[in-house]
Copies of this chain bind each other. A is one copy, B any other.
Amino acid sequence: MVEMAALKEQLTYAYQFPLYRKLWDAAQFCPNDIQDWNDWTHIPLLTRNDILTTIRDNPPYGGFWFDGPKRLHITPFPGLGTIPVLASMEDVQRSIARETEVFRRAGFTRDDVVQVTFGYAPFYTGMHFHLVAEAVGAVVVPAGPGNAEQQAHWIAELGVTALITNPSFALKIGPLLPNNHRVRLIYAGGEPLSAVEGFRERLRSAFGGPGVTIIDSYGISEVGMMATECQAERGLHVYSNAIVTEILDPETGKSVPQGQPGELVVTQVKQEGFPLVRFRTSDLTRLVSDNCACGETVTLPKGILGRIDEVRKVKGVKLYPSQIAVVLAEFPEVSPRNYRVRLWAEGGTDHMELTIQSSTSHINEERLKERMRSELLIAPNRVCVETLLADGMQIIDERGKGAF
């Protein structure tokens, strides 16, 4: 658990940068106002739009330049194309040391040959995982992204035992491997895994079955890695010494009860470069507190459930449309990225039509409704199938503003 004293020090540090100076002054908040956790919610929430503004006002580094050796990486950023993110070399070392322990609990050893399929440049994910796996003592094959055939060739030829990859790419590689491949561990990141029912077992099967450990993880490029499973595969452990997590209602900004879905808001406990305080991740998740055999606490049992996009209240329940993609991913015959939601009022109650894309019309509609009821607490009244839909979700709300 994080000491309040350390956090107050971090708040004072952050206050020197124009981003926080402007945001906090406008809200008449001062780091000295914080005495204990009861005051925590007085700290203004930070959005991607605030970062966009500070970078426009203080180019090119958003005012986050600081003395001393630093590492820079590029991250895609809505509205600006890409932005640079700075970390001090101490930040980098701290994050590698933290993750080295996490990798050990996930099952990595010095005898592993680890293939990394994330990009190394201009994004930093691949290089970070490369350095962490080396810190464990493993040998790393720096494959980089793309080319499943070439990746499968290296896995087979070089005796690769562990993969660090996004799970949907791993699903493409698995079938290309010979039966005697040696992969026994997959560290998955970059997209929902635990949240998609059956995804983990599909991935395990693609690599030959029960002997393969599948580890889910969560990080974003503005912050770095924040949570990972251990070998028990029971849910993600948040790096609670490095990150303060809150789950808020994205509309009200108020905390939601434990176990309820909401937007993940994070604060870095100690970070010299680009320090983030109460940063709204736009990611949707559920926070719990559950003991794990490894001695840590499971806090994100299903990882990330989707993105906070245009949240709608439907039949009195908050609908996070992107969570539909997570449910659709359970149905191999359906494209999880293409869907449309139409909402209308009829007989005094909300109605919902879900249109999905599939090349077959034989969709198990009842199972889809059941899974949506279970995961989103809302089932559509009607499911339509089309052979071609535009990419990405689309919401057509015909209820009028009164419905909100």
Contact = CB atoms under 8 A, between A and B. Distances in A.
Contacts of A140: 71-72
A157 B73 CA distance: 14
Between A86, A119, A121, A141, the greatest number of chain B beta carbons within 10 A of the residue's beta carbon is seen for A121
A351 to B, nearest CB: 46
Interface string A144-158: 100000000110011
A63 to B, nearest CB: 14
Contacts of A71: 134, 139-140
A72 B122 contact: no
A137 interface: yes
Between A69, A110, A142, A143, the greatest number of chain B beta carbons within 10 A of the residue's beta carbon is seen for A142
Nearest to A126: B121
Interface in A93-124: 110, 116, 119-122, 124
Contacts of A259: none
A121 B120 contact: yes
Nearest to A137: B69
A253 interface: no
A134 B143 CA distance: 23
A392 interface: no
Contacts of A121: 116, 119-120, 126, 130, 142-144
A124 B142 contact: yes
Interface of A: 59-61, 69-74, 81-82, 84, 86, 89, 110, 116, 119-122, 124, 126-127, 130, 134, 137, 139-144, 153-154, 157-159
Contacts of A157: 59-60
8 contacts: A71-B134, A71-B139, A71-B140, A72-B140, A82-B154, A116-B121, A120-B142, A122-B143
A141 B60 contact: no
A282 to B, nearest CB: 24
A166 to B, nearest CB: 15
A121 to B, nearest CB: 3
Contacts of A143: 74, 121-122
Contacts of A119: 121, 144
A89 to B, nearest CB: 8
A119 B73 CA distance: 15
Between A89, A116, A139, the greatest number of chain B beta carbons within 10 A of the residue's beta carbon is seen for A139
A126 B122 contact: no
Given A69-B134, A122-B143, 16 more contacts: A59-B157, A61-B158, A70-B139, A72-B139, A72-B141, A72-B142, A72-B158, A74-B141, A84-B141, A86-B139, A120-B144, A121-B126, A121-B143, A121-B144, A122-B154, A127-B127
Contact of A74 (B126, B154, B159): B154
A68 to B, nearest CB: 9
A157 B56 CA distance: 11
A110 B59 CA distance: 20
B142 A122 contact: yes
Contact of A142 (B59, B74, B139, B141): B74
Contacts of A159: 60
A122 B134 contact: no
Nearest to A117: B121
Q: Which 6 A-B pairs have the closest CB atoms?
A: A121-B144, A120-B120, A121-B142, A120-B121, A60-B158, A60-B157
A142 B60 contact: no
A153 B228 CA distance: 35
Between A74, A126, A153, the greatest number of chain B beta carbons within 10 A of the residue's beta carbon is seen for A74
A150 to B, nearest CB: 8
